[in-house]
Structure 1
């Protein structure tokens, strides 16, 4: 079995990943006032430009072509590199679509984004959403994706070569002394320097606000008066940002696995730490009831202790994997975290832990490679590079010095005795970022927007349920749909209740009753 593909089709994309842990129709239309954003609808950030100055971008026509995947078409959308200077350099953004299949009257375009930041929306559309979304939705919508700027096919951010990325992922994330702290800091500095060296031009212009503005250009070019959109994980922050900028352009927005835009980076990272602890407890509770659980059969608490001991032993003595990369503590931890996103991966994790404890780390290494999007030939996608670039631009860093992290470790370990230390130190990465943050945490209300559906999963590891509650409360037209279950995001996970509620909203525009709960 190709574990990488299995996890990717389970929408394994993170929400607000940090450091080395991730803590993704017509042939165009001419510009018209109906397809361009009205100036009064835009909560413009400093340096923003007027609609008139962006006319040429909204007036462009997409040249659709076959892109090698049956049924799908691809095109390139142009957008300004710097929205404050629209007459300057532009960026080329990859777009893909699959047309509505019918029967029934076409509603319009439905944009999808799998999260990350850094997840390829085009790959997600071609690999899952364009064929896996419910048939009634695909019948009525042209399914569309755009790789956000800096991601995958859209002028990707690059930072390290593959060999250096291998070394980076093996860096000890739980330093025990000053030399190990210095080594981790050096790794973060080297990563940031590589991004600056390879991607200096695009690096200051890959914020979520930039990506949301790009989506509105695409909406206008496609000829849709309003944006219909399904965003998962970080994609919920992107969707909420769009709603804040263009509330009167909001059509039917589904924000699944929601982020809370009001939280500072440190709180985001700590909340995710607690989220992964909740997910691990759920896994452990299931595991200890099985005769062959590698973490014992006593109790979830004992399972947590055994896993911590395993990590400590791996830190002291990495485990062979049958290839040149041994399983280090950092890779082992990432492998375990990868399986927390989807309860369907729990059997695979049990097997991988059993093998590792017997001296074969290949199973956990494969899980870790899936998480980092490392291909079997040793190459990496740019997921982690784009992830850091967007996160570090969207908000000030969680920590600015190693001393600040050291003082916060106990608080993170309180949130998760198993993962807390690693998550705390991983939060240091933006401290050395070469492009200063342009965003800041704030509530998003999107006053005047049509009803927006916010979806939260009660035991979601990456986007804790309370974030969905908060976002639904912030949005002036937000409605919360709750999935009582495990895993990251809810749509398409097997709950007829969730899927029916979302499908009804997308097809009829009617959100579920307030605070509807599903299992």
Structure 2
């Protein structure tokens, strides 16, 4: 879910810092020169593709179809956008892409093992459709561009959309007028490891400073103590959902999931302050505050998953992760070699880089489990759609990063910008993942377009 900001306040944060305040102005990070002006038609691009779990025979590729854009109507799932233009195009199934973000489900005994098996089985059931990935979506997007005769696209992407738009810009540089990437990361990088943990520590410290609570190291110590205790002696937490109570394991991984999730989406002041100011009693073994934090995290995750495929789809989430993203093992290895490589990599991690969690807890939390794709079937197209240094569109690019984002941190935004010869990175204060939805982020986007 994404919150809306109120006029005059910081973007969806509630910490009371104005977006125009001299205390926390948007910071323009060092980068290439300002974007050049390009003449292009501004257009909205929306392509939705669904990959089912049935192993139907893929349809053959079809030629591009022209289609007309008309004012949008009878679309209850979309906001009222008077200037929006809509059209319809049929694309071949063998170029479908499962698309953006998903979520984890309520955790029970054996969850990680069962999840890994289920993800691998999902990939097997997809059969020939398993290799559908970002290059497929780039091809679909270009079909959509060509249909109504649009010469160039102004690309916009947030979160996984930044991966897709970078792929489109690399595959179709002559058709790219500009790009805005919000909550961005590079196609060759992973953000959920030590980079994300470092961003979490920074975010907790910033919240403590801006709310004038005690200092950041104290907050991290309040979280580190129960994380260490739960790693040595896991406990349980009673979670009630829809009138049914379940006893769920409470360990370091669950705590890492709850803490990380609080800084992996649009800012929620109540949750973030709660994470940044845990009860000092947790250091002496009182897990009351920790149980409340984990309970809220788990119930929110399940409610999101229960909202249906319009809100999220766990299968699509893992399909994207297992095909598009780099893994800590070779895709063409057998299962034993994959697992051995994964275990070696996990054992080599330094817990200090993942504080307040341990390396193992942080690396196997919820929907960021780094070993979840061990059983995913290999495909020649698996992996990044292009490598660092590949020829790229020289269109101007704006990258927005929230300084409270531990999902796609500012460092990940810098890496995303480095893919382009003409990119600017702007850090939005008091904002989290995909700051384009906030007041501060939207202002920077409008300024970017106005300057072209």
CA distance in 2, matches of 1:186, 1:92: 25
**Could you say which residue in structure 2 is the equivalent of 1:423?**
362
**Could you say which residue in structure 1 is the equivalent of 2:195?**
271
CA distance in 2, matches of 1:471, 1:235: 12
Q: How high is the TM-score relative to the length of structure 2?
A: 0.67
**Aligned partners of 1:203 and 1:435 also within 8 Å:** no
**Aligned partners of 2:221 and 2:356 also within 8 Å:** no
**Aligned partners of 2:105 and 2:298 also within 8 Å:** no
**Aligned partners of 1:274 and 1:415 also within 8 Å:** yes
Following superposition, the deviation at residue 432 of structure 1 comes to 1.1
CA distance in 2, matches of 1:235, 1:242: 10
**Could you say which residue in structure 1 is the equivalent of 2:318?**
388
CA distance in 1, matches of 2:68, 2:222: 57
Farther off after superposition, 322-331 or 473-482: 322-331
CA distance in 1, matches of 2:245, 2:395: 54
Structure scoring higher RCO (CA < 8 A, sep ≥ 6) equals 2
Q: How high is the TM-score relative to the length of structure 1?
A: 0.59
CA distance in 1, matches of 2:192, 2:216: 33
**Aligned partners of 1:258 and 1:456 also within 8 Å:** yes
**Could you say which residue in structure 2 is the equivalent of 1:324?**
245
**Could you say which residue in structure 1 is the equivalent of 2:396?**
451
CA distance in 1, matches of 2:444, 2:155: 15
**Could you say which residue in structure 1 is the equivalent of 2:409?**
464
| Residue 230 of structure 2 corresponds to residue 302 of structure 1 | no
State the secondary structure of the residue aligned to 2:239.
Answer: coil
- Which is helix-richer, 1 or 2? 1
**Could you say which residue in structure 2 is the equivalent of 1:56?**
63
| Residue 81 of structure 2 corresponds to residue 81 of structure 1 | no
**Aligned partners of 1:285 and 1:299 also within 8 Å:** no
**Aligned partners of 1:332 and 1:368 also within 8 Å:** no
Which of residues 188, 194, 203 is equivalent to 2:130? 203
Which of residues 410, 428, 431 is equivalent to 1:483? 428
CA distance in 2, matches of 1:404, 1:381: 31
Following superposition, the deviation at residue 298 of structure 1 comes to 8.0
Following superposition, the deviation at residue 373 of structure 1 comes to 5.8
- Relative to structure 1, the CA distance from residue 509 to residue 243 in structure 2 (aligned partners, 3 Å threshold; closer, same or farther) is farther
CA distance in 1, matches of 2:424, 2:180: 10
**Could you say which residue in structure 1 is the equivalent of 2:57?**
none
State the secondary structure of the residue aligned to 1:474.
Answer: coil
Following superposition, the deviation at residue 502 of structure 1 comes to 1.6
State the secondary structure of the residue aligned to 1:59.
Answer: coil
**Could you say which residue in structure 1 is the equivalent of 2:169?**
243
- Relative to structure 1, the CA distance from residue 213 to residue 382 in structure 2 (aligned partners, 3 Å threshold; closer, same or farther) is same
Q: Could you report, residue by residue, the CA deviation over 1:393-434 in whole angstroms, capped at 9, with x for unpaired residues?
A: 114422421563355345252321223322334211122102
Following superposition, the deviation at residue 288 of structure 1 comes to 8.3
**Could you say which residue in structure 2 is the equivalent of 1:224?**
150
Following superposition, the deviation at residue 381 of structure 1 comes to 5.2
Following superposition, the deviation at residue 240 of structure 1 comes to 0.9
Q: How many residues align?
A: 368
CA distance in 1, matches of 2:288, 2:413: 40
**Could you say which residue in structure 2 is the equivalent of 1:129?**
none
- Relative to structure 1, the CA distance from residue 305 to residue 410 in structure 2 (aligned partners, 3 Å threshold; closer, same or farther) is farther
CA distance in 2, matches of 1:460, 1:304: 18
Structure 1: 5+ residue runs without aligned partners?
A: 12-33, 35-52, 84-90, 94-114, 120-164, 173-182, 291-295, 511-519
CA distance in 2, matches of 1:194, 1:55: 26
CA distance in 2, matches of 1:413, 1:389: 29
Farther off after superposition, 373-382 or 268-277: 373-382
State the secondary structure of the residue aligned to 2:238.
Answer: coil
CA distance in 1, matches of 2:273, 2:425: 34
| Residue 315 of structure 2 corresponds to residue 365 of structure 1 | no
State the secondary structure of the residue aligned to 1:432.
Answer: coil
**Could you say which residue in structure 2 is the equivalent of 1:141?**
none
- Relative to structure 1, the CA distance from residue 417 to residue 402 in structure 2 (aligned partners, 3 Å threshold; closer, same or farther) is farther
**Aligned partners of 1:117 and 1:235 also within 8 Å:** no
**Aligned partners of 1:447 and 1:475 also within 8 Å:** yes
